[in-house]
Amino acid sequence: LGALAYHGLGSMEKARVYLEHFVAVQPNHLGARRLLGSILVVQRDFMGATKVLEPVLQALPNDPQTLAM
């Protein structure tokens, strides 16, 4: 919830830090991975985004949100 609030307020770096910690504890949370991946793409960290999004694509190979990134 905190990451969504930061993201909605445009505080991408705070959202990123929050999500990195969350994904470390909850690695199977696909929604958190998608949001973190989208932030990494905006920040042009394409290698980081690929690493974060690979498990999402493995679980949901035809997910339009993830494929659009």
Q: Which pairs with CB-CB distance under 8 Å and at least 24 residues apart come from 45-52?
A: 52/23
Nearest one of 62, 65, 64, 29 to 52, comparing CA atoms: 29
Give the H or E element holding residue 37.
Answer: helix 30-42
pLDDT of residue 7: 74
pLDDT of residue 36: 96
Q: How does pLDDT run across 6-17, given as a tens digit for each residue?
A: 677 778 888 999
Nearest one of 45, 31, 39 to 15, comparing CA atoms: 39
pLDDT of residue 1: 61
Q: How does pLDDT run across 17-41, given as a tens digit for each residue?
A: 999 999 999 999 999 999 999 999 9
* Single pTM value for the model: 0.87
pLDDT of residue 5: 67
Across the chain, where does the E strand assignment appear? none
